[in-house]
Structures are given as structure tokens and as C-alpha cells.
Structure 1
């Protein structure tokens, strides 16, 4: 395209004169309307809100646009505003592959996920399950090894929740979601299981994580055969951290490279004692080259953990949602990050809190891949509102309970994760299963507290801040 013509189009774009662009490009001779011109025309139609026309134009240059970020961006943009977020997602993901620094593409990826909320995805999964229950039932009753066709069939169903959902279909109508080492799944799969339709209860047994086994078994990985009875463990309990540090020995695993040996061990550990118990109580793991006195067999580990915890007067938990951890922080006075002022807090999702302060987003992003969103409410108050620290804490807990009882639990809109306190601010942490519905309902509830200014913030550094209510003087 002629450079002066391109410059004129850019000027009209900046001035929102998109119809002029349409008239200009459509008036060009056909041989001058190359892929670049058609792309600019599609952009103009996008900006005019004629998304179907933009897609029609872009389809004519699909071959030329395979490796062009702008082509994918414009196509994804049109699909997004046609409320076809699932289709739009793959185009924005391609933009991100081609231009990783494109922040707009990252934001669209995030919104494509959340605009198909977790609540809706769970309903779609159970509708798929209902429609296909006879076939699924036959699969479990056959007790045959699951072939590629079966895995693909069930994978399409769980794929309604998100990409990368692992599962296992067992005998006696057992359907187990596998956490696969990702903490976010402990806070998502239980909701899926809890929404099981009534007609399947009693027949089907859905589990939100691999519960482990109470008997030994054989396992083969990296061309090494492992019998669980032959895996020996040294176990050291750290009562302060409430974690069990392990050293393991097995002749076959000791012959592997260390990274392979550790990977294989973590897999068999979760298969043996369960994903919940492993996540909750296993600390450091090291390999040793020879067995030592006092080692136990791997199948004995579960009983050893449970006995040790009870001896120390502690309960045994396999669901991380049930375990709250208190934490303290040293406030940073000169910081734009609202959570840097936190003094004390408590949470049932400590990895998410740690990730936030480390400036990482792996857990946050995985949550969003399911259409959920981790957020925190920041409630700002003046010095005259509360007289003591106890009043602040009591108010925080009361408000948390109210949000949970009135908004989260009845409609399944999310999960209460905890909260924190800073000078002049109360924080309440929530995992939203339907972010935009929850936002609208929070506004109504928080209007009952006119002395507070309230904001909803994405649980990541630099996350979007939305004002919900403003303090009335």
C-alpha cells in the first residue's frame, strides 16, 4: 500500500473517522486492495461495530495472515465482540505467541476466559455428562483399559471446563479429577463435584483429587519397574512448619538422573498417599543412594503421617480449603501496591498470596483458564470508623461471613479465601466463579457500609482496580 495512503488511514483512525477509511479502501481498484489494505479495512469495520463484515474480509486473506499478529488480533477482536469468546481466545493466544509483549492481547486472553465464567462451564460439563451418561457408565462397567477413543471422548467433556484437565475413569462408576501438582485445581474441582446433579448421586462417585491407595502396587516409568513396598523412606517431621521432609531410596530410581528420579517419586507418592495429603504435608524431598536404619516402606507413609499429626494434637486435612494459615508482613511505606501495607492476614490459599508478592502469575493464570478470577476487596476507612484493632478484625470477619452466606454460597458465585488488615484498609480475598455477576451483587451489599470506600482488585501485581462504592462524608 502507498505510504501516504497508509499515513492518511492512520490519521483517520486516530480521529475515529472510520467510515472515511471504508469509503477510501473500497473505492480502490481491486488490484490495489492487497492483504494489508484488506486488513486495514477490516480494522475500520471492527471500529464501526460491523464485526461480521470484518470477519468476512479477513477470511479472504487467511493464508497470508497465518504468521501476522495484526490479522489474528483483528479476527479475535471481531469474534470477542460477537460474544464468541471461546473462538476469539485462540486468535489472541496466537497474537501472544507472535508478539509476547502485546499487553492488549494478554488482556483479551484474560477476558476471553472470564467472559465464559466457571459457573457456566460447570453447568455445560454436567449437561454433557447427562447427555452421555449411558456411554460413560458402559465404559466404567467394561473395566477395560481406556483406549485413545475413550480418552478423546471424555477429554472433550472435561475440556468444557478448561484445557489440560486430567481425569481417571475407574470401576464402580468412579470419576476422579487429577490435580497434577497444580494448586489452583484444589480450589476448582471441588466445586465441579459439588454441582453433580441429584440423579447421579448414589451411582456415580466423583472425586476432586486422587485420594491415594491403601495397598501396594507396581509402577513403571523411565523403563524402571517400581514396587511400592520396595521404596524406602526416611521421614522427618517439622512440627513448626507442620511438614514431613522425606528421603527416599529405591535401586531402580537411584540409577536414574536425579531430575527423573524426583519426578517419578513425586508421581508415585501422590498415587500412593493421595494428592491432598501430599500437597498439605510433604515438604522437602531428597534421594539417597543407600537405605538407612529406621526407614519405612512407602505404603506405610499415610498411617505414619496421620499418627504423627494426632500425636502432636493436630487434625488431618486432605482438602486445602479447610486449612487456614495466619501470616504477618512488614509493611512497605513507599509503595503503590495496596497489599504492601498489610500487617496481618489469614488465608486458605497461601501459594496464591506468596505468588502475588513475588510478582508471579502462574496460579492466577491457571484459575482464569477455568473462567474464574482471584480478586481481593480493598475497603478503605477513616480513623474515626473503628476505635480498636479488635473492632477492625471483628468487622472483617463479620463482613466475610456475610459475603459468603449471602453471595458466594447460595448461588455458587465463589469461594472465600481469607483476608488481611493494613492501616486504614481491610482486605477480603475471594475466588470468583462468576466474576461479573459477583461484582454487580457486591455493589448492592457494600452500599450498606457508607463509611467505607470499596474496590475490587485482580489478585496479581498491577491488576485492574474497580471502584465499587465511595465513602460518604
Structure 2
């Protein structure tokens, strides 16, 4: 493209004179217009809200430009505003792959995912399962006789309706087990999928939200080593102050592997034996031993040892992280971001809280990738007199109970993750499975508490605040 023309187009773009760009580039015949000019014309149509025209132009140069960041972004943009969110998401993901960390691209990815809510994805999965249950039964009943790759591909077509990163195992007796594989956020998503299983399958199929563990010994092969589980020796030192165990392991073949391979193989073996939930909840650290240690036990005995030790110390045993709330305390800080005034809180998802304060969006984005939104409700309170803190804390507990019992649980809208109290603001932490449906219900719900002004924020720094209350001006406009 002529450099002078390009500069003029850029100038018109800066001043929002997109119609002039259309007039200029529209005079060039499609045969004479190169792919760059066609892409800029499509951008102008996007900026004018004529998304169908933009899409048609972009499709005409797909062969030349499909590997270009701008082409993918522009096509995603057009599809997004045509409410074709799944197609738009694929384009924005490709743009992000080509040019990582672009803020606009990331925001569109997040928005696309929020328009493809987890609750809807789960409904789609169970519809697929219902439609294909006969074939799924045949796969289970003929395990070992059918091509394993074909069976996995067939089931993956269903789980992809939730997300492409869903992993699973099909077992005998109609067992379907989702696999967390070290991805913490999945502990807060998979149980909901299982809870939504249609009633007609509950007497036949056995769904598990994560690997449940086993006491049986068997051979395990990885990185060229073939290890009998019963030959792996472990010691487990209980630390009551953190209610968790420090593990040492030894097995000659396993410990002869490169360090990273050795640890990776052991973690997989341990999670198979303990179950992913128990392993996540109660294993504080793992160290490889150079030789057998005193009082080591066989790996298949570790599960019973851990549960017996916990019971002996009067501890209740949980294998679902959603069930365990941990308290935390902070020293309030001066900061423009919310939550830095927090004095104390509790959460069943501490890594998400830690991500927030570290400025990380890793867990937020992983949840968002499944169409689930980590958010918190914030509401300022008067903290002038003695007793104000206790008063608002009691109110927060009451509100949390109502939110869980009346909104989140009955309609499958999400989870209550915890809450916190700051020097002048209270916070209620939520994981929403359908943000749009939640927003329709939360404002009328909060009308019962006119003494407070409520706001909603994504569980990440720098997020915009959404007002969750109506003012007199709002009401007068109706």
C-alpha cells in the first residue's frame, strides 16, 4: 500500500472518520486492492458497526492473512459483535498466540468466555451425554476390544463442549472420572458438572469430580522406568500446625531418573493412590530420599496412614477443597486497589486470594477459560464507633448465607468462596457459573438492604467496578 495513503488512513482512524476510509478504499476494485487495504477497509467497517461487511472482506483474504494477528483480531471483533462468541473466541485466541499479552485481545477473550457461561456448557455436555449414552455404554462394556484412540476421541467431542482442557478416565462399572492433574481451579468446577448429572443415569453411571484414590498396588511406567507401586517407600511426617504431611519417597528406579522426571512421576503415582483431593489438601511438601529411611511404609499404605493419623488428632477429613475454609489476617495497606484494606478473611480458595495480592490473573483466567467468573461483592460501611466492625461482620455472614441458599445453590449460579472485612469495606467472594443470570437476580435481591451500596468486581487488580444498587435517578427513569 502507498505510504501516503496509509498515513491518511491512520489519521482518519485516529479522528474516528471511518466513513472517509470506506469511501477512499471502496473506490479501489477488489481485484486491485491488496490484502492490507482490504484488512483496513474491514477495520473501518468494524468501527462503523457494519460487522457483516467487515466479515465478508476478512473472509476474502483468509488464505493470505490467517496467520496474521490483525486479521484474527479484526475477524474476532466482527464475530463478537455479531454475538458469535465461540467463533470470536477462537480468533482472539489465535491472535493472542501470535502476539501474546496484548491487553485488548485478553479482554475480548475474557468477555467471550463470560458470554459462554460454565453453566450453559455443562448443560450442553449433559445433553450430549444423554444423546450418546448408548454408545458410551458400549465403549465401557467393550473396553479392551475397541480402539482406545477412537473411544477417547468420541468422548472428547463431548467434554470439549465444556473446554478443550478437560481430562477424564473411563473405567469399568460405568465409571467416569474427571482428572484435575494438578490444576487447582478444577477442584471448584468439576464437582458442579457431576452434580448436574440427569437423574435417569444415577443408578447406572458413577461420575467422580476427581481421582478418588486406591489401595491396590500395580505397575506404573513412565520415563522408561516401570515401577511397582508397592516397591515405592514413603515416610509421612505430620505437622499439626498446618494439618498436613511432609513426604519423603524412595524407590531405586524412580530415584535414578532425572530430578524433574522423578518428582513428576512420583506426584502422579501419589495422586493415583491418595486421590487428587486428599493429595491436594494434606500434602505440604515432597522430597526425594537418597536411600530408604527408617519407618518408611509402602505407597499403597499411605492413604490409610494419613486418614488414621488425622483421626487420631481429632481432625475431620476432607478430600474436596471447597469444604475447607482457611482464615487469614493482613495488615491494612494504603493502596488504590480494593482489598488492600483487609484486616481478616476466610476462603476455601486461598490460591485465588494469593493471586490477587500478587497481581497475578493466572487462576482468574483459567476459571474464565471455562466460562466461570471469580468475582467479589464489595460494600463500604461506617466504621466510626465501637461495635461497627462486629455489626457489619454479622451482616456479612447473614448475607453470605442468603446468597448461597437462595441464589447460588438452587439455580446452579456458582459458589460462595469466602469473604473478608477491611477497615471501611466488606467483601464477599464468589465463583459464578453464569454471570449474566446472576446479574439479573442480584440487584433485586440486594434491595432488601438499602442501608448499603454494593459493587461487583472481577477477582483481579485493575478491574472495573459494577454498581449493584439503584439510585433514585435510576428509578425515576423507569
Distance in 2 (CA, whole Å) between partners of 1:385 and 1:408 is 34
| 1:450–1:471 Cα contact (<8 Å) kept | no
1:228-267 aligned at under 5 Å gives the runs 228-267=229-268
Distance in 1 (CA, whole Å) between partners of 2:126 and 2:435 is 21
Q: Can you list the C-alpha shifts for 1:393-440, whole angstroms capped at 9, x where unaligned?
A: 211100001111221111100000000000111100000000122123
| 1:452–1:471 Cα contact (<8 Å) kept | no
Q: RMSD value over aligned CA atoms?
A: 1.7
Distance in 1 (CA, whole Å) between partners of 2:440 and 2:464 is 16
Greater mean alpha carbon deviation, residues 352-361 or residues 163-172: 352-361
1:311-460 aligned at under 5 Å gives the runs 311-332=312-333, 334-383=334-383, 387-460=387-460
Partner of 1:126: 126
**Secondary structure, in 3 states, of the residue corresponding to 1:154?**
helix
User: Structure 2 vs 1, CA of residues 386 and 18 (structure 1 numbering), >3 Å: closer, same or farther?
Assistant: farther
1:269 and 2:273 equivalent? no
User: Structure 2 vs 1, CA of residues 290 and 4 (structure 1 numbering), >3 Å: closer, same or farther?
Assistant: same
Partner of 1:194: 195
**Secondary structure, in 3 states, of the residue corresponding to 2:62?**
coil
Distance in 2 (CA, whole Å) between partners of 1:178 and 1:384 is 50
User: Structure 2 vs 1, CA of residues 102 and 55 (structure 1 numbering), >3 Å: closer, same or farther?
Assistant: same
Partner of 2:69: 69
Partner of 1:150: 151
| 1:235–1:244 Cα contact (<8 Å) kept | yes
1:9-24 aligned at under 5 Å gives the runs 9-24=9-24
Partner of 1:209: 210
Q: Which runs of 5+ in 1 are unaligned?
A: none
| 1:385–1:451 Cα contact (<8 Å) kept | no
Distance in 1 (CA, whole Å) between partners of 2:31 and 2:89 is 33
Distance in 2 (CA, whole Å) between partners of 1:297 and 1:89 is 47
**Number of aligned residues:** 471
**Secondary structure, in 3 states, of the residue corresponding to 1:300?**
helix
- Cα drift, residue 385 of structure 1: 9.3
- Cα drift, residue 386 of structure 1: 8.5
| 1:415–1:432 Cα contact (<8 Å) kept | yes
**Secondary structure, in 3 states, of the residue corresponding to 1:58?**
helix
**Scaled by the length of structure 1, what TM-score is found?**
0.96
Distance in 2 (CA, whole Å) between partners of 1:372 and 1:226 is 39
Distance in 1 (CA, whole Å) between partners of 2:174 and 2:46 is 49
Distance in 2 (CA, whole Å) between partners of 1:342 and 1:383 is 13
Distance in 1 (CA, whole Å) between partners of 2:221 and 2:343 is 49
- Cα drift, residue 84 of structure 1: 1.4
Partner of 2:476: none
Partner of 2:297: 296
Partner of 2:87: 87
| 1:114–1:368 Cα contact (<8 Å) kept | yes
Q: Can you list the C-alpha shifts for 1:352-395, whole angstroms capped at 9, x where unaligned?
A: 11121122222211111110010011111234699433212211
Q: Which runs of 5+ in 2 are unaligned?
A: 473-478
Partner of 1:171: 172
1:161 and 2:162 equivalent? yes
- Cα drift, residue 221 of structure 1: 0.7
**Secondary structure, in 3 states, of the residue corresponding to 2:462?**
coil
**Scaled by the length of structure 2, what TM-score is found?**
0.95
Greater mean alpha carbon deviation, residues 89-98 or residues 142-151: 142-151
Distance in 2 (CA, whole Å) between partners of 1:322 and 1:131 is 33
- Cα drift, residue 73 of structure 1: 0.8
